[in-house]
């Protein structure tokens, strides 16, 4: 379960929801609880815009699979997160589902720049 809490009352209400669902003993199983700062995730409008732009770029450069262009764009211009296996640490592209509103806004701006460099004509530019 996940929740955005702003006050102690919100937090207590969330705990009540958890115990209502799992029982006071949490179903006899241990759970990990963590709290992190809230950042507004990408919007559905941003996501739609991003994928339309990826499609336009893919069509312009001759790729039948827009996912290849999306992977390229994420690798070249997107945000990364570190993954450590043993003593080896490498940065991998974050999924766009992890982007904040600001990060996705920057990515869309970068797609406009890339499109301009390539001479892309946007199919649905708002």
- Taking only the tens of pLDDT, the chain with its 126 residues reads 888 888 999 999 999 999 999 998 998 999 988 888 877 778 889 999 999 999 999 999 999 899 999 999 999 999 999 999 999 999 999 999 889 999 999 999 999 999 999 999 998 755
pLDDT of amino acid 64: 87
What is the distance between the alpha carbons of residues 38 and 51, in angstroms, rounded to a whole number?
25
What is the predicted pLDDT for the residue at 3? 85
Eight-state DSSP code of residue 121: P
pTM as predicted = 0.68
What residues pair up with 100 in beta bridges, in sequence order? 41
Quick check: 42 and 96 in contact, CB under 8 A? yes
């Amino acid at each position: 379960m996940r929740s955005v809490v702003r006050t102690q009352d919100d937090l207590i209400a969330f705990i009540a929801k958890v115990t209502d669902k799992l029982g006071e003993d949490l179903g006899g199983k241990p759970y990990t609880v963590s709290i992190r700062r809230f950042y507004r995730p990408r919007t559905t409008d941003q996501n739609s815009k991003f994928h339309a732009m990826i499609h336009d770029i893919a069509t312009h450069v001759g790729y039948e699979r827009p996912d290849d262009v999306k992977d390229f764009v994420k690798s070249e211009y997107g945000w990364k997160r570190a993954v450590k296996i043993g003593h080896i640490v490498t940065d991998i592209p974050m999924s766009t589902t992890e982007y904040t509103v600001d990060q996705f806004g920057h990515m869309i701006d970068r797609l406009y720049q890339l499109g301009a460099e390539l001479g892309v004509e946007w199919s649905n530019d708002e």
